[in-house]
């Protein structure tokens, strides 16, 4: 292999005139983080609602939750993003479709919502398992005290269920960050996208993707560490692995 | 206070758990429900505050029909205290907050009032020093006393006990029974599912014996322990009193 290594490339100006190649990667990182955080918020909100619905006695709620989860988890993420980005605007009435296509930052919003819904199915299933793992008597005790179903979930079941599923939720947060890379296919210039353009401009493919890899590792290390702190912070004295 | 008339309950079309159960508990009365496991005692007591639905018959508490769809069940349940076999304290809340949660959320008491009430009740069950601990840091007997205090904090008109000492180590049974005996002497209306015949002898007014979902015997305490009318009750008594 006749490859010309050049680690100094990061400090050379990029052809877009936006500073160095490193600046390019960092702007990609910023976009990756923005997309991931928004997607994670969406995943948590919708995942919580759908996860709770899957544990309610109501058949309708259960079926809604079932359909939501099976729809979003049984299709490849890539196909889902294509659906939202390329297919949905064509299916809508012409005016609405045109309006959607002309929205500023369309790749960003599509990626955040698309990844968010995809991940919400996974959060929902885990929350359902977390709630299901609580003793049946907990719900009964809450009910017997006169708490409504909503109050029972809010004050009794969910605080415990979320504590139980915190470790797997950490993995899902990491997956959310990594999954935003798929958005390169709808033109989002996030970290992977910027690494790719760096490669195309400079032909330093190994340097570009080594840098991207290290940045992903670093970000995920920060997430893992802070989730460990969160786990310890919400641990219950005397309970399982409490403090 | 509690009127149970002709209650039938099926878990499936072929599996009947309660068969034509009729009995009542008057104000200030202590009624002990006993019988072999699987006889439907726990199910029956859970029907009283509608934790378990039933298909036929009527149950009313203080004149309010439990099985009427128009009944405000959370409100009714808030006036019926319940103590469970496995305590069912809320593990993520301190003892004091276990006692305050429903007072504040269901009865709309102020935090100060709720805390005052909780402290007074903890004092009464001898656990005032444990107020700031978490349930998992207490012994089983202490947890069950907290559970009784939690139910009393709602100022219930009647208390239901579902095998309150069955999950306890032998040396902790008496501390819980002592609290229950005090409660009975103060005139609390109580329906108690238990195998503690000593407790029944001491404070019960009536004893109900159930077998295979039916109320086989419903007699005054003296009659029940003197000479039960049914063979099945006699056999049951001879087995549990012989040790």
**Token pair belonging to A183:** 């958005």
Q: Which residues pair with B105 in a beta bridge?
A: none
In which region does residue B108 sit, left (phi positive, over 0), alpha (psi from -120 to 50) or beta (all else)? left
DSSP 8-state secondary structure symbol assigned to residue B77: H
- Cα separation, B33 vs B23, in Å, equals 11
Indicate yes or no: CB of B106 within 8 angstroms of CB of A141. no
Pairing of strands B56-61, B64-65: antiparallel
Per-residue pLDDT at A21 exceeds 70 = yes
B92 to chain A: which residues are within 8 Å by CB?
A: 159-160, 163, 236, 239
Interface test with A, best of B75, B92, B109, B149 (most A CBs within 10 A): B92
- B8-16: long-range pairs with CB below 8 Å, 24+: B8/B54, B8/B55, B8/B56, B8/B57, B9/B43, B9/B47, B9/B52, B9/B53, B9/B54, B9/B55, B9/B56, B9/B213, B10/B55, B16/B213
pLDDT tens digits, one per residue of B173-191: 999 999 999 999 999 999 9
CA distance A47 to chain B (A): 22
- CA–CA dist B51, B68 (Å, integer): 14
Is A163–B136 a contact, with Cβ atoms under 8 angstroms apart?
no
pLDDT in tens, chain B (243 residues): 899 999 999 998 889 999 999 999 999 999 999 998 889 999 999 999 999 999 999 999 999 999 999 999 999 999 999 999 999 999 999 999 999 999 999 999 999 999 999 999 999 999 999 999 999 999 999 999 999 999 999 999 999 999 999 999 988 999 999 999 999 999 999 999 998 888 999 899 999 999 999 999 998 988 888 877 788 888 888 887 766
Smallest CA–CA distance, residue B17 to chain A, in Å, is 19
Q: Residues A1-20: pLDDT tens digits?
A: 788 899 989 999 988 888 99
Helices marked H in A54-187: 59-73, 77-82, 88-91, 94-101, 106-132, 136-144, 149-151, 158-164, 166-179
B167 touching chain A per CB within 8 A:
no
Gyration radius of chain B over CA positions: 18
Q: Is the distance from CB of B175 to CB of B118 less than 8 angstroms? A: no
Interface check B84 vs A, CB under 8 A: yes
- CA–CA min distance B208, chain A (Å): 23
| Nearest by CB: B134 against A135, A147, A236 | A236
Chains A, B: CB pairs < 8 Å: 82
Which strand (E) or helix (H) includes residue B33? strand B30-34
Alpha-carbon distance of A23 to A31, in angstroms, equals 12
The secondary structure of B89-123 as a DSSP string is --TTS-HHHHHHHHHHHTS---HHHHHHHHHHHHH
Q: Give the number of C-alpha atoms closer than 13 A to the C-alpha of residue A110, restricted to the C-beta side.
A: 29
Average pLDDT on A79-100 reads: 90
**What pLDDT is recorded for position A175?**
95
- Mutation choice for B interface testing from A131, A146, A162 by most B CBs within 10 A: A146
Say whether residue B88 is in contact with chain A using an 8 A CB cutoff: yes
């Amino acid at each position: 292999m006749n490859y010309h290594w050049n680690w100094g490339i990061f400090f050379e100006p990029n052809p877009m005139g936006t500073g160095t190649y490193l600046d390019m990667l960092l702007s990609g990182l910023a976009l990756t983080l923005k997309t991931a955080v928004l997607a994670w918020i969406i995943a948590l909100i919708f995942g919580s609602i759908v996860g709770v619905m899957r544990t309610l006695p109501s058949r309708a709620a259960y079926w809604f939750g079932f359909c939501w989860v099976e729809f979003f988890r049984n299709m490849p993420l890539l196909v889902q993003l294509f659906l939202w980005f390329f297919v949905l605007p064509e299916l809508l009435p012409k005016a609405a479709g045109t309006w959607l296509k002309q929205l500023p930052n369309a790749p960003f919003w599509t990626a955040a919502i698309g990844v968010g819904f995809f991940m919400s199915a996974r959060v929902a299933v885990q929350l359902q398992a977390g709630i299901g793992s609580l003793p049946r008597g907990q719900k009964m005790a809450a009910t017997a005290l006169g708490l409504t179903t909503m109050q029972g979930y809010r004050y009794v079941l969910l605080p415990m269920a979320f504590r139980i599923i915190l470790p797997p939720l950490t993995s899902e947060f990491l997956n959310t960050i990594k999954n935003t890379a798929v958005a390169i296919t709808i033109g989002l210039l996030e970290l992977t996208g910027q690494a790719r353009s760096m490669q195309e401009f400079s032909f330093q493919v190994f340097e570009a993707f080594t840098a991207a890899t290290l940045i992903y590792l670093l970000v995920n290390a920060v997430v893992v560490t802070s989730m460990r702190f969160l786990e310890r912070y919400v641990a219950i004295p005397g309970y399982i692995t409490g403090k | 206070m509690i009127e149970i008339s002709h209650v039938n309950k099926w878990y499936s079309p072929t599996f009947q758990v309660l068969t034509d159960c009729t009995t009542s508990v008057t104000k200030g009365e202590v009624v002990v429900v006993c019988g072999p496991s699987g006889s439907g005692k726990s199910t029956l007591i859970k029907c009283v505050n509608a934790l378990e639905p039933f298909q036929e018959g009527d149950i009313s508490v203080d004149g309010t029909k439990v099985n009427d769809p128009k009944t405000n069940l959370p409100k009714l349940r808030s006036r019926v205290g319940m103590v469970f076999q496995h305590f069912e304290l809320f593990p993520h809340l301190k003892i004091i907050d276990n006692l305050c949660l429903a007072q504040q959320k269901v009865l709309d008491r102020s935090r100060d009032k709720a805390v005052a009430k909780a402290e007074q009740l903890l004092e009464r069950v001898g656990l005032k020093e444990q107020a700031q601990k978490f349930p998992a840091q207490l012994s089983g007997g202490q947890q069950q006393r907290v559970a009784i205090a939690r139910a009393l904090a709602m100022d219930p008109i009647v208390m239901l006990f579902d095998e309150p000492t069955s999950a306890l180590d032998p040396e902790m049974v008496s501390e819980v029974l002592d609290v229950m005996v005090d409660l009975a002497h103060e005139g609390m209306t109580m329906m108690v599912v238990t195998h503690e015949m000593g407790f029944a002898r001491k404070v019960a007014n009536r004893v109900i014996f159930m077998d295979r979902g039916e109320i086989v015997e419903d007699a005054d305490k003296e009659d029940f322990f003197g000479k039960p009318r049914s063979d099945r009750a006699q056999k049951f008594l001879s087995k549990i009193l012989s040790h």
